[in-house]
Protein backbone atom coordinates (compact mmCIF):
# COMPACT_ATOMS: atom_id res chain seq x y z
CA UNK A 1 0.00 0.00 0.00
CA UNK A 2 1.27 3.52 -0.82
CA UNK A 3 2.40 5.63 2.13
CA UNK A 4 0.93 9.14 2.43
CA UNK A 5 1.52 12.05 4.79
CA UNK A 6 -2.17 12.03 5.73
CA UNK A 7 -5.11 9.70 5.41
CA UNK A 8 -7.32 12.70 4.69
CA UNK A 9 -6.44 16.21 3.58
CA UNK A 10 -9.32 18.70 3.61
CA UNK A 11 -9.21 21.98 1.69
CA UNK A 12 -11.56 24.41 3.41
CA UNK A 13 -12.46 24.71 7.10
CA UNK A 14 -16.10 25.68 6.78
CA UNK A 15 -19.06 23.78 8.18
CA UNK A 16 -18.70 20.76 5.91
CA UNK A 17 -14.92 20.59 6.06
CA UNK A 18 -14.72 20.90 9.85
CA UNK A 19 -17.37 18.21 10.40
CA UNK A 20 -15.69 15.83 7.95
CA UNK A 21 -12.28 16.46 9.53
CA UNK A 22 -13.24 15.89 13.13
CA UNK A 23 -15.41 12.83 12.43
CA UNK A 24 -12.74 11.22 10.25
CA UNK A 25 -10.15 11.89 12.96
CA UNK A 26 -12.47 10.39 15.57
CA UNK A 27 -12.56 7.26 13.41
CA UNK A 28 -8.78 7.08 13.68
CA UNK A 29 -7.68 8.82 10.48
CA UNK A 30 -4.69 11.14 10.33
CA UNK A 31 -6.26 14.40 9.15
CA UNK A 32 -5.11 17.87 8.13
CA UNK A 33 -7.24 20.77 6.97
CA UNK A 34 -6.00 23.83 5.09
CA UNK A 35 -7.85 27.15 5.35
CA UNK A 36 -6.62 30.32 3.64
CA UNK A 37 -9.12 32.68 5.32
CA UNK A 38 -10.68 32.01 8.73
CA UNK A 39 -11.92 28.82 10.33
CA UNK A 40 -15.71 28.57 10.28
CA UNK A 41 -16.33 29.31 6.62
CA UNK A 42 -19.15 31.34 5.13
CA UNK A 43 -21.78 30.51 7.74
CA UNK A 44 -19.82 31.46 10.84
CA UNK A 45 -17.58 34.23 9.51
CA UNK A 46 -19.53 36.07 6.80
CA UNK A 47 -22.93 34.43 6.44
CA UNK A 48 -25.82 33.05 8.40
CA UNK A 49 -24.49 33.63 11.94
CA UNK A 50 -23.51 37.32 11.76
CA UNK A 51 -26.48 38.00 9.46
CA UNK A 52 -28.93 36.47 11.92
CA UNK A 53 -27.46 38.63 14.68
CA UNK A 54 -28.11 41.69 12.49
CA UNK A 55 -31.66 40.43 11.95
CA UNK A 56 -32.16 40.29 15.72
CA UNK A 57 -30.78 43.81 16.02
CA UNK A 58 -33.06 45.09 13.28
CA UNK A 59 -36.17 43.66 14.94
CA UNK A 60 -35.79 46.05 17.86
CA UNK A 61 -36.84 48.93 15.58
CA UNK A 62 -40.38 47.56 15.42
CA UNK A 63 -40.34 46.03 18.89
CA UNK A 64 -39.51 49.34 20.54
CA UNK A 65 -42.30 51.03 18.60
CA UNK A 66 -44.79 48.27 19.42
CA UNK A 67 -43.86 48.37 23.12
CA UNK A 68 -45.66 51.72 23.48
CA UNK A 69 -48.96 50.04 22.67
CA UNK A 70 -48.24 47.55 25.44
CA UNK A 71 -47.87 50.29 28.04
CA UNK A 72 -44.13 50.83 28.02
CA UNK A 73 -42.97 54.44 28.05
CA UNK A 74 -40.24 54.03 25.46
CA UNK A 75 -38.33 57.21 24.57
CA UNK A 76 -37.15 57.89 21.05
CA UNK A 77 -34.11 55.66 20.64
CA UNK A 78 -31.04 56.23 18.51
CA UNK A 79 -29.40 53.28 16.78
CA UNK A 80 -25.64 52.83 17.18
CA UNK A 81 -24.38 50.84 14.19
CA UNK A 82 -20.73 50.60 15.34
CA UNK A 83 -21.85 49.10 18.65
CA UNK A 84 -23.87 46.34 16.96
CA UNK A 85 -21.23 45.77 14.29
CA UNK A 86 -18.42 45.38 16.81
CA UNK A 87 -20.47 43.12 19.09
CA UNK A 88 -21.37 40.89 16.14
CA UNK A 89 -17.75 40.68 14.98
CA UNK A 90 -16.70 39.86 18.54
CA UNK A 91 -19.18 36.98 18.61
CA UNK A 92 -17.88 35.74 15.26
CA UNK A 93 -14.36 35.77 16.69
CA UNK A 94 -15.54 33.77 19.70
CA UNK A 95 -17.17 31.16 17.47
CA UNK A 96 -14.06 30.94 15.31
CA UNK A 97 -12.12 30.11 18.43
CA UNK A 98 -14.56 27.30 19.23
CA UNK A 99 -14.14 25.86 15.74
CA UNK A 100 -10.37 25.99 16.14
CA UNK A 101 -10.62 24.20 19.48
CA UNK A 102 -12.87 21.55 17.95
CA UNK A 103 -10.20 20.70 15.40
CA UNK A 104 -7.38 20.72 17.96
CA UNK A 105 -9.35 18.61 20.44
CA UNK A 106 -9.97 16.02 17.75
CA UNK A 107 -6.28 15.94 16.79
CA UNK A 108 -6.83 17.53 13.39
CA UNK A 109 -3.84 19.51 12.09
CA UNK A 110 -4.90 23.00 10.98
CA UNK A 111 -2.76 24.58 8.25
CA UNK A 112 -3.55 28.32 7.78
CA UNK A 113 -2.52 28.42 4.12
CA UNK A 114 -4.07 28.20 0.69
CA UNK A 115 -3.85 24.70 -0.73
CA UNK A 116 -4.09 23.64 -4.37
CA UNK A 117 -4.38 20.21 -5.91
CA UNK A 118 -1.36 19.06 -7.93
CA UNK A 119 -2.36 15.43 -8.42
CA UNK A 120 -4.82 12.73 -7.31
CA UNK A 121 -3.02 12.37 -3.97
CA UNK A 122 -0.96 15.55 -3.81
CA UNK A 123 -1.53 19.06 -2.49
CA UNK A 124 0.75 22.09 -2.63
CA UNK A 125 0.59 24.69 0.13
CA UNK A 126 1.06 28.42 -0.43
CA UNK A 127 4.26 28.30 1.61
CA UNK A 128 5.80 25.97 -0.96
CA UNK A 129 5.47 22.65 0.88
CA UNK A 130 3.93 19.66 -0.91
CA UNK A 131 2.02 16.99 1.03
CA UNK A 132 0.31 13.76 0.06
CA UNK A 133 -2.94 12.18 1.19
CA UNK A 134 -4.87 9.00 0.55
CA UNK A 135 -8.06 11.03 0.21
CA UNK A 136 -8.50 14.71 -0.59
CA UNK A 137 -11.75 16.47 0.31
CA UNK A 138 -12.72 19.74 -1.38
CA UNK A 139 -14.87 21.86 0.97
CA UNK A 140 -14.13 25.37 -0.24
CA UNK A 141 -17.74 26.55 -0.35
CA UNK A 142 -19.00 29.29 -2.65
CA UNK A 143 -18.06 32.91 -3.31
CA UNK A 144 -20.29 35.91 -4.14
CA UNK A 145 -20.94 36.42 -7.83
CA UNK A 146 -20.65 40.03 -9.08
CA UNK A 147 -22.23 41.19 -12.37
CA UNK A 148 -19.80 42.13 -15.12
CA UNK A 149 -20.49 45.79 -15.76
CA UNK A 150 -18.41 49.00 -15.79
CA UNK A 151 -17.91 50.28 -12.27
CA UNK A 152 -18.91 47.06 -10.50
CA UNK A 153 -15.78 47.43 -8.35
CA UNK A 154 -17.55 50.26 -6.53
CA UNK A 155 -20.00 47.80 -5.01
CA UNK A 156 -19.52 45.35 -2.13
CA UNK A 157 -20.83 41.86 -1.41
CA UNK A 158 -22.17 40.10 1.66
CA UNK A 159 -18.54 39.31 2.55
CA UNK A 160 -17.83 42.95 3.32
CA UNK A 161 -21.20 44.19 4.52
CA UNK A 162 -20.54 43.24 8.16
CA UNK A 163 -17.58 45.62 8.34
CA UNK A 164 -19.18 48.91 7.22
CA UNK A 165 -17.80 52.02 8.96
CA UNK A 166 -21.19 53.71 8.87
CA UNK A 167 -24.75 52.97 7.81
CA UNK A 168 -25.64 54.19 4.32
CA UNK A 169 -28.53 56.61 4.00
CA UNK A 170 -29.35 55.08 0.62
CA UNK A 171 -28.51 51.51 -0.34
CA UNK A 172 -29.09 49.70 -3.62
CA UNK A 173 -29.22 45.92 -3.32
CA UNK A 174 -28.74 43.88 -6.47
CA UNK A 175 -30.61 40.58 -6.56
CA UNK A 176 -33.86 39.14 -5.29
CA UNK A 177 -32.85 35.94 -3.54
CA UNK A 178 -32.69 35.27 0.18
CA UNK A 179 -29.52 37.32 0.78
CA UNK A 180 -30.96 40.36 -1.01
CA UNK A 181 -34.31 40.24 0.78
CA UNK A 182 -32.74 39.64 4.18
CA UNK A 183 -30.41 42.61 3.92
CA UNK A 184 -33.21 44.72 2.46
CA UNK A 185 -35.18 44.13 5.65
CA UNK A 186 -32.16 44.69 7.89
CA UNK A 187 -31.10 48.01 6.36
CA UNK A 188 -34.68 49.26 6.15
CA UNK A 189 -35.16 48.69 9.87
CA UNK A 190 -31.87 50.46 10.55
CA UNK A 191 -33.23 53.53 8.77
CA UNK A 192 -31.65 53.32 5.32
CA UNK A 193 -33.66 53.90 2.16
CA UNK A 194 -33.51 50.56 0.37
CA UNK A 195 -33.86 49.98 -3.37
CA UNK A 196 -33.81 46.35 -4.51
CA UNK A 197 -32.88 45.86 -8.17
CA UNK A 198 -33.63 42.64 -10.03
CA UNK A 199 -33.27 41.64 -13.68
CA UNK A 200 -36.63 39.78 -13.61
CA UNK A 201 -39.88 40.40 -11.75
CA UNK A 202 -39.60 37.32 -9.52
CA UNK A 203 -38.24 37.37 -5.97
CA UNK A 204 -37.17 34.28 -4.04
CA UNK A 205 -37.39 31.87 -6.95
CA UNK A 206 -38.20 28.37 -5.68
CA UNK A 207 -40.39 29.45 -2.77
CA UNK A 208 -44.17 29.18 -2.88
CA UNK A 209 -45.64 31.92 -5.03
CA UNK A 210 -48.29 33.07 -2.54
CA UNK A 211 -45.74 33.35 0.24
CA UNK A 212 -43.19 35.32 -1.75
CA UNK A 213 -45.94 37.60 -3.12
CA UNK A 214 -46.95 38.34 0.47
CA UNK A 215 -43.38 39.32 1.33
CA UNK A 216 -43.25 41.61 -1.70
CA UNK A 217 -46.51 43.24 -0.64
CA UNK A 218 -45.39 43.78 2.95
CA UNK A 219 -41.95 45.04 1.93
CA UNK A 220 -43.45 47.52 -0.52
CA UNK A 221 -45.87 48.87 2.08
CA UNK A 222 -42.96 49.35 4.48
CA UNK A 223 -41.20 51.51 1.93
CA UNK A 224 -38.66 49.22 0.28
CA UNK A 225 -38.41 50.21 -3.39
CA UNK A 226 -38.32 47.43 -5.99
CA UNK A 227 -36.97 47.93 -9.52
CA UNK A 228 -37.82 44.97 -11.73
CA UNK A 229 -36.60 44.08 -15.23
CA UNK A 230 -33.50 46.09 -14.43
CA UNK A 231 -30.14 44.93 -15.74
CA UNK A 232 -26.96 46.73 -14.69
CA UNK A 233 -25.45 49.06 -17.28
CA UNK A 234 -22.80 50.88 -15.25
CA UNK A 235 -21.97 52.21 -11.79
CA UNK A 236 -20.55 55.72 -11.49
CA UNK A 237 -18.67 57.06 -8.49
CA UNK A 238 -19.41 60.77 -8.04
CA UNK A 239 -17.13 63.49 -6.67
CA UNK A 240 -18.79 63.42 -3.25
CA UNK A 241 -18.12 59.68 -2.96
CA UNK A 242 -21.71 58.61 -3.59
CA UNK A 243 -22.75 56.34 -6.45
CA UNK A 244 -25.08 56.61 -9.42
CA UNK A 245 -26.37 53.20 -10.46
CA UNK A 246 -27.50 52.94 -14.07
CA UNK A 247 -29.91 50.12 -14.95
CA UNK A 248 -32.15 49.32 -17.90
CA UNK A 249 -35.82 50.42 -17.98
CA UNK A 250 -35.43 52.78 -15.01
CA UNK A 251 -33.93 56.17 -14.16
CA UNK A 252 -30.44 56.17 -12.64
CA UNK A 253 -30.52 55.39 -8.91
CA UNK A 254 -28.46 57.52 -6.47
CA UNK A 255 -26.91 55.52 -3.65
CA UNK A 256 -24.36 55.68 -0.87
CA UNK A 257 -23.76 51.93 -0.99
CA UNK A 258 -24.25 49.22 -3.60
CA UNK A 259 -24.56 45.66 -2.30
CA UNK A 260 -24.34 42.80 -4.79
CA UNK A 261 -26.45 39.85 -3.65
CA UNK A 262 -26.71 38.15 -7.03
CA UNK A 263 -25.91 34.60 -6.06
CA UNK A 264 -22.83 32.59 -5.12
CA UNK A 265 -20.55 30.54 -7.36
CA UNK A 266 -18.75 27.36 -6.28
CA UNK A 267 -15.28 28.38 -5.12
CA UNK A 268 -13.09 26.24 -7.39
CA UNK A 269 -11.12 28.86 -9.34
CA UNK A 270 -7.39 28.24 -9.17
CA UNK A 271 -7.67 25.08 -7.04
CA UNK A 272 -5.85 23.01 -9.67
CA UNK A 273 -8.55 20.36 -9.80
CA UNK A 274 -7.81 19.80 -13.48
CA UNK A 275 -4.45 18.34 -12.41
CA UNK A 276 -6.29 15.35 -10.98
CA UNK A 277 -8.97 15.00 -13.66
CA UNK A 278 -11.76 16.38 -11.46
CA UNK A 279 -14.75 17.37 -13.61
CA UNK A 280 -16.57 20.65 -13.02
CA UNK A 281 -20.01 21.62 -14.31
CA UNK A 282 -20.80 24.79 -16.26
CA UNK A 283 -21.01 26.78 -13.01
CA UNK A 284 -17.67 25.57 -11.73
CA UNK A 285 -19.13 23.11 -9.22
CA UNK A 286 -17.36 19.83 -8.48
CA UNK A 287 -19.37 17.01 -10.05
CA UNK A 288 -19.91 14.28 -7.44
CA UNK A 289 -21.88 11.07 -7.07
CA UNK A 290 -24.22 10.09 -4.24
CA UNK A 291 -21.20 9.29 -2.04
CA UNK A 292 -19.60 12.72 -2.65
CA UNK A 293 -16.89 11.24 -4.90
CA UNK A 294 -15.65 13.29 -7.85
CA UNK A 295 -14.52 11.92 -11.21
CA UNK A 296 -11.16 11.26 -9.52
CA UNK A 297 -11.44 8.25 -7.21
CA UNK A 298 -9.30 9.82 -4.45
CA UNK A 299 -10.94 13.26 -4.44
CA UNK A 300 -14.29 14.04 -2.85
CA UNK A 301 -16.30 17.23 -2.30
CA UNK A 302 -19.04 18.37 0.08
CA UNK A 303 -21.01 21.55 0.69
CA UNK A 304 -21.63 24.57 -1.51
CA UNK A 305 -18.70 23.76 -3.78
CA UNK A 306 -20.85 20.97 -5.24
CA UNK A 307 -23.81 23.33 -5.83
CA UNK A 308 -26.36 20.72 -4.80
CA UNK A 309 -28.12 22.39 -1.87
CA UNK A 310 -26.37 25.52 -0.58
CA UNK A 311 -27.35 25.22 3.07
CA UNK A 312 -25.08 24.87 6.09
CA UNK A 313 -26.94 21.92 7.69
CA UNK A 314 -26.70 20.05 4.37
CA UNK A 315 -22.94 20.63 4.15
CA UNK A 316 -22.58 19.34 7.72
CA UNK A 317 -24.53 16.19 6.93
CA UNK A 318 -22.57 15.62 3.74
CA UNK A 319 -19.29 15.97 5.62
CA UNK A 320 -20.43 13.58 8.33
CA UNK A 321 -21.70 10.99 5.83
CA UNK A 322 -18.43 11.23 3.89
CA UNK A 323 -16.33 10.60 7.01
CA UNK A 324 -18.51 7.74 8.27
CA UNK A 325 -18.50 6.07 4.86
CA UNK A 326 -14.78 6.30 4.12
CA UNK A 327 -13.23 6.14 7.57
CA UNK A 328 -15.87 4.75 9.94
CA UNK A 329 -17.00 1.65 8.09
CA UNK A 330 -20.57 3.01 8.33
CA UNK A 331 -21.65 3.72 4.75
CA UNK A 332 -24.53 6.16 4.46
CA UNK A 333 -25.85 8.86 2.18
CA UNK A 334 -27.59 12.17 2.73
CA UNK A 335 -31.33 12.27 2.14
CA UNK A 336 -32.13 15.44 0.21
CA UNK A 337 -35.90 15.02 0.33
CA UNK A 338 -37.95 17.54 2.34
CA UNK A 339 -35.17 19.89 3.38
CA UNK A 340 -36.66 22.88 5.22
CA UNK A 341 -35.39 26.37 4.41
CA UNK A 342 -36.06 29.88 5.61
CA UNK A 343 -35.58 33.50 4.64
CA UNK A 344 -34.90 35.78 7.61
CA UNK A 345 -36.62 38.72 6.01
CA UNK A 346 -38.96 41.14 7.81
CA UNK A 347 -41.21 39.23 8.41
CA UNK A 348 -39.44 35.88 7.95
CA UNK A 349 -40.75 33.09 5.75
CA UNK A 350 -40.08 29.37 5.67
CA UNK A 351 -41.05 26.31 3.70
CA UNK A 352 -40.61 22.57 3.44
CA UNK A 353 -41.68 20.07 0.81
CA UNK A 354 -43.53 20.82 -2.39
CA UNK A 355 -44.92 24.21 -3.31
CA UNK A 356 -48.43 24.36 -4.75
CA UNK A 357 -47.14 24.67 -8.31
CA UNK A 358 -44.71 21.77 -7.85
CA UNK A 359 -47.50 19.57 -6.51
CA UNK A 360 -49.83 20.43 -9.38
CA UNK A 361 -47.09 19.82 -11.90
CA UNK A 362 -46.31 16.37 -10.46
CA UNK A 363 -49.78 15.13 -9.54
CA UNK A 364 -52.07 17.21 -11.74
CA UNK A 365 -54.01 18.50 -8.77
CA UNK A 366 -53.70 19.03 -5.03
CA UNK A 367 -55.65 20.38 -2.09
CA UNK A 368 -54.58 23.68 -0.60
CA UNK A 369 -55.46 24.93 2.88
CA UNK A 370 -54.56 28.43 3.99
CA UNK A 371 -54.82 30.62 7.06
CA UNK A 372 -54.47 34.36 6.47
CA UNK A 373 -54.47 36.22 9.79
CA UNK A 374 -52.98 38.94 11.95
CA UNK A 375 -50.83 37.80 14.82
CA UNK A 376 -52.31 38.69 18.22
CA UNK A 377 -49.28 40.84 19.01
CA UNK A 378 -49.72 42.76 15.75
CA UNK A 379 -53.38 43.43 16.53
CA UNK A 380 -52.65 45.12 19.85
CA UNK A 381 -49.63 46.90 18.38
CA UNK A 382 -51.92 48.27 15.66
CA UNK A 383 -49.63 46.73 13.05
CA UNK A 384 -51.63 45.64 9.99
CA UNK A 385 -49.10 43.11 8.74
CA UNK A 386 -50.73 39.72 8.11
CA UNK A 387 -49.28 36.22 8.38
CA UNK A 388 -50.03 33.50 5.84
CA UNK A 389 -49.79 29.76 6.46
CA UNK A 390 -50.33 27.19 3.73
CA UNK A 391 -50.68 23.40 3.60
CA UNK A 392 -50.28 21.61 0.26
CA UNK A 393 -52.02 18.23 0.45
CA UNK A 394 -52.22 15.24 -1.92
CA UNK A 395 -55.73 15.08 -3.38
CA UNK A 396 -56.20 11.34 -2.83
CA UNK A 397 -53.92 10.17 -0.02
CA UNK A 398 -54.35 13.35 2.06
CA UNK A 399 -50.59 13.28 2.76
CA UNK A 400 -49.24 16.75 3.51
CA UNK A 401 -46.79 17.44 0.68
CA UNK A 402 -45.61 20.85 1.80
CA UNK A 403 -45.93 23.57 4.43
CA UNK A 404 -45.19 27.21 3.64
CA UNK A 405 -45.54 30.20 5.92
CA UNK A 406 -44.69 33.84 6.40
CA UNK A 407 -45.03 35.67 9.67
CA UNK A 408 -43.36 36.20 13.06
CA UNK A 409 -41.27 33.18 14.13
CA UNK A 410 -42.15 31.25 10.95
CA UNK A 411 -38.76 29.48 10.80
CA UNK A 412 -38.99 28.39 14.44
CA UNK A 413 -42.47 26.97 13.89
CA UNK A 414 -41.61 25.29 10.60
CA UNK A 415 -38.66 23.37 12.03
CA UNK A 416 -41.06 21.28 14.12
CA UNK A 417 -43.71 21.10 11.40
CA UNK A 418 -41.09 19.84 8.92
CA UNK A 419 -40.93 16.61 10.92
CA UNK A 420 -44.56 15.94 10.01
CA UNK A 421 -43.90 16.43 6.30
CA UNK A 422 -40.77 14.27 6.42
CA UNK A 423 -42.73 11.55 8.22
CA UNK A 424 -45.46 11.61 5.55
CA UNK A 425 -48.30 12.50 7.93
CA UNK A 426 -51.75 13.22 6.58
CA UNK A 427 -53.96 16.25 6.91
CA UNK A 428 -56.10 14.21 9.32
CA UNK A 429 -53.11 13.92 11.67
CA UNK A 430 -52.98 17.71 11.79
CA UNK A 431 -56.74 17.89 12.35
CA UNK A 432 -56.53 15.35 15.18
CA UNK A 433 -53.88 17.37 17.01
CA UNK A 434 -55.26 19.66 19.72
CA UNK A 435 -54.37 23.31 19.22
CA UNK A 436 -51.98 25.05 21.59
CA UNK A 437 -53.90 28.22 22.34
CA UNK A 438 -53.24 31.08 22.09
CA UNK A 439 -50.33 30.71 19.69
CA UNK A 440 -49.55 31.40 16.07
CA UNK A 441 -48.53 27.79 15.50
CA UNK A 442 -52.04 26.57 16.30
CA UNK A 443 -53.16 27.79 12.86
CA UNK A 444 -51.42 24.76 11.39
CA UNK A 445 -53.94 22.40 13.00
CA UNK A 446 -57.05 24.57 12.55
CA UNK A 447 -57.26 24.81 8.75
CA UNK A 448 -60.45 23.31 7.36
pLDDT tens digits, one per residue of 360-393: 999 999 999 999 999 999 999 999 999 999 999 9
Domain boundary assignment for the chain: 6-144+265-327, 152-262, 347-445
The domain covering 152-262 belongs, at the CATH homologous superfamily level, to FAD/NAD(P)-binding domain (3.50.50.60)
Residue 409 DSSP one-character state? T
Q: Could you list the active site residues?
A: 437
- 178 annotated as ligand-binding: yes
- 175 annotated as ligand-binding: yes
Q: Do domains 6-144+265-327 and 152-262 have the same CATH topology?
A: yes
Quick check: pTM over 0.75? yes
Other CB atoms closer than 10 Å to residue 81's CB: what's the count? Answer: 14
- 407 annotated as ligand-binding: no
- 182 annotated as ligand-binding: yes
pLDDT of residue 42: 87
- 222 annotated as ligand-binding: no
- pLDDT tens digits, residue range 1-39? 579 999 999 999 999 999 999 999 999 999 999 999 999
* Spatial CB neighbours of 417, under 8 Å, sequence gap ≥ 6: 352, 403, 441, 444
pLDDT of residue 198: 97
pLDDT of residue 355: 98
- 176 annotated as ligand-binding: yes
The domain covering 347-445 belongs, at the CATH homologous superfamily level, to FAD/NAD-linked reductase, C-terminal dimerisation domain (3.30.390.30)
What's the Cα-to-Cα distance from 302 to each of 11, 126, 132, rounded to whole Å? 11, 22, 20
Domain 6-144+265-327 has CATH 3.50.50.60: yes
Buried b (16+ CB within 10 A) or exposed e, 87-111: ebeeebeebbeebbeebeeeebbbb
pLDDT of residue 315: 96
**Which parts of the chain have pLDDT scores under 70?**
1
Amino acid sequence: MPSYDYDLFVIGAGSGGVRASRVAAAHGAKVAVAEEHRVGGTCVIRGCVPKKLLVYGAHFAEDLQDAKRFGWQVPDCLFDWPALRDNVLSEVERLEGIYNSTLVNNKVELIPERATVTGPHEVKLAGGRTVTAGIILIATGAWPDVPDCPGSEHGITSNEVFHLEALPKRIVIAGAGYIANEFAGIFHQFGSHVTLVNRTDVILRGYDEQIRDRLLQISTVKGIDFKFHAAFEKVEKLEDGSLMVHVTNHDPIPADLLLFATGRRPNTAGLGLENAGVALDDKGAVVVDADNKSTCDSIYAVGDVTNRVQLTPVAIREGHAFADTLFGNKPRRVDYDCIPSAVFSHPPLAGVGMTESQAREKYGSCKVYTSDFRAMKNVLADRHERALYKLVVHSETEVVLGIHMIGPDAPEILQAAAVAVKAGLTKQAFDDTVALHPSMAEELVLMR
